[in-house]
Amino acid sequence: MRTTAELTRLELKLFIRDPMTVLFSLALPVIVLLILGGVFGNEPGELDTGGPVYRGVGAMDYYVPAYVALVVVSVCLISVPAHLAGNRERGVLRRYHASSITAWQVAMAELGVAIVISAVSVVVLLVTATIVYDFVGPWSIPIVLLGFVTSTLAFSTLGVLLGAVLPTARSAQALGMLLWFVMLFLGGAGPPPEVLTDAMRAISTATPMWHAVRVMQHGWLELDPDGSWLILLAIVAIGAPLAVRAFRWE
Amino acid sequence: MATRVGPRVALDVRHLRKCYGSVVAVEDVSFGVRQGEIFGILGPNGSGKTTTVECLQGLRRADAGEIDVLGLDPRTEAGRLRQRIGAQLQESALPDRIKVWEALHFFSSLAPGGPDWRDVMERWDLGGLRNRAFSTLSGGQQQRLLVALAVVNGPELVFLDEMTTGLDPSSRRVVWQLVRDLRDQGTTVVMVTHFMDEAEHLCDRIAVIHGGRVAALGTTAELIAEFAGRSEVTFSTDLADIDFVRHVDGVATVEQDGTRVIVRGTGPVLARVAAALVAHGDAPIDLEIRRGSLEDAFLAITGDGSAT
Ligand SMILES: Nc1ncnc2c1ncn2[C@@H]1O[C@H](COP(=O)(O)OP(=O)(O)O)[C@@H](O)[C@H]1O
Ligand SMILES: [Mg+2]
């Protein structure tokens, strides 16, 4: 526990010292918010066929909780794997290993860093959104917080899994980016789900991000989460032991 | 688990074997390290030194063999073992942006009960660099920090793998002295090196590893006596016939190249050759002896050159 806390503190300090990573983590969701918000406004939409878009709520009401999920996904899939793989490549993990730090402790420290950075990034996002747009406040703050933590758990599990198996920082970054892009467009924080083709929708619902968006919209907008909570928890339950088993120190 | 722990044995390894796929890195290595000694592992590149010590630290899993380190088996008790040993790995690094003091503080916080990290920082002459980020240190400074981290947890046994790589000659001397101080305070040191002078200056005993096996083991003096016992006496002379030198006690060969003569032999060969020369009316002013060095012994053991 003490080791995990010390390692988290250290990794957090080091993260903050890397200006590009910090800028990226904080600016990216804000940029997405301003661009997509500018495009879609906050009117509830209607399809040509007559059905509602944005699950029947205003565009901004739909997107704000979705962007909270996007923040988590960005931090966990872009920063975490590249950071882990980079530490492996340079021999930092070997150094940790020799000092009896375990794979669980490394994974927990990555989770800790992801939670703190995501939380700060979410605050920046919400402050910007509040200044620029009108949107409804959260329906249930506890459920929103729970959704945030559950999503971060699930995505940092995926991030550690990627970082655990990919050999180099470059490959980890490339794959993380690729997944992030797919999820940006199909995960529910890009085009509203109602305008996607059936094939796209099938991919959408298969992306973990879709479920993070649903969970956040559950707490924020009181929309039906279906099985999304369970799916995120399953990712943690199955992914975490897998990531720790697959973890390579060099 | 091996149970040959005597009161004075820090480490004992029998028939260690380790392969990487089809590459046999360590074929059959056995040796014991006594508590409180500096034990050297000397060998050419690729002979299996690093693999050996990494198996002993539980960083790699040995394929076969009995290993006992401080009474623990690194294959099943690696976690507990690593609490009690210190490691400077041949290939490792710290995060670019970590500061010197943070690294010492962090690694010492992992092992409560160790020495004060500030003392370690001063002793290893890192105080002046305390706020420098790891990536801004020179190679030698980085190495010094990595060696200091190996002792910041107050280990009973330290593994040092090519610790003076990248150090300039004066830092090497300083680090050698620090390693001796460690030993004098009771820490057992196992050090891998391919530098002869380092092994000769520091190690109480040396195992020479060649092709994944222990080719020789002993003190520097023992290795030299066994593998480079011949001395080489050289001088110049105007004497036309020096055949008498061949009959001097202990002389094995005599080579003559113009006026230059090289005599090889064992025992007090310098005194005897000198006496014979004087008796024959010559007293060369450039009479010199070169005794076998650790390097000669090493070359003889590893078969990379001809021994004198
Ligand atoms: N991780 C590895 N994977 C495959 N082969 C390796 C690995 N590490 C070392 N080897 C090989 O094992 C042999 C012994 O290497 P090593 O133990 O590093 O020797 P030394 O430290 O004496 O230079 C060499 O042939 C080396 O190429
Ligand atoms: Mg080596």
Segment B167-172 mean pLDDT: 87
- pLDDT tier at B3, thresholds 50, 70, 90: very low
User: Least CA distance to A94: which residue of chain B?
Assistant: B92
Contact A99 B57 (CB under 8 A): no
* pLDDT tier for residue B5 given thresholds of 50, 70 and 90: very low
pLDDT digits (tens, 9 = 90+) for B261-279: 999 998 889 999 999 999 9
| Range from A36-50, A236-250, B219-233 carrying the lowest mean pLDDT | A36-50
Residues 6+ apart with CB under 8 A from A199: none
CA distance A154 to chain B (A): 26
Fold of B230-291: Alpha-Beta Plaits (3.30.70)
> What pLDDT is recorded for position B43?
94
- Digit-coded pLDDT (tens) for B38-87: 999 999 999 999 999 999 999 999 999 999 999 999 999 998 999 899 99
Span B89-107, pLDDT tens digits:
998 999 999 999 999 999 9
From start to end of chain B, where are the E strands? 9-20, 23-34, 38-42, 64-69, 85-88, 157-161, 188-193, 205-210, 213-218, 231-236, 251-257, 260-265, 288-290
- pLDDT greater than 90 at residue B128: yes
- Range A49-52, long-range pairs (CB < 8 A, 24+ positions): A51/A194, A52/A194
Task: Tell whether the model's pLDDT for residue B4 goes beyond 60.
Answer: no
- Give residue-wise pLDDT tens across range A68-115: 999 999 999 988 999 999 999 999 999 999 998 999 999 999 999 999
- Residue ranges of the domains in chain B? 9-225, 230-291
Nearest chain B CA: its distance from A19 CA (Å): 11
Is residue B239's pLDDT more than 70? yes
> Is it the case that residue B304 has pLDDT exceeding 70?
no
Which pLDDT band holds residue B6 (cuts at 50, 70, 90)? very low
Instruction: Give the three-state DSSP class for B248.
Output: coil
pLDDT band for position A119 (50/70/90)? very high
Superfamily of domain B9-225: P-loop containing nucleotide triphosphate hydrolases (3.40.50.300)
The overall average pLDDT reported for chain A is 89
Percentage of chain A surpassing pLDDT 70? Answer: 96
8 Å CB contact between A160 and A84: yes
Confidence class for position A160, pLDDT limits 50, 70, 90: very high
Contacts of A92 in chain B (CB under 8 A): 92-95
Q: What is the CB neighbour count within 10 angstroms for residue B1?
A: 12
Which ligand is nearest the CA of B16, by number?
A: 1
Q: Which two tokens stand for residue A73?
A: 């996904």
> What pLDDT score was predicted for residue A40?
66
What is the atom index within ligand 1 of the atom nearest the CA of B45? 23
Bridge partners of B66, per DSSP, are: B14
CA of B48 to the centre of ligand 1 (A): 6
> Two tokens at B276?
């014979």
Q: Can you give the pTM of this predicted structure?
A: 0.87
Which residue from B91, B88, B84, B81 is spatially nearest to B103, judged by alpha carbons? Answer: B88
Give one DSSP letter per residue of A14-53, joined into a string: HHHT-HHHHHHHHHHHHHHHHHHHHHHTTPPPB-TTSPBS
pLDDT one-digit tens code per residue, A10-65: 999 999 998 888 888 888 878 888 887 777 666 666 776 767 788 878 888 888 89
**Cα separation of B28 and B62, whole Å?**
11
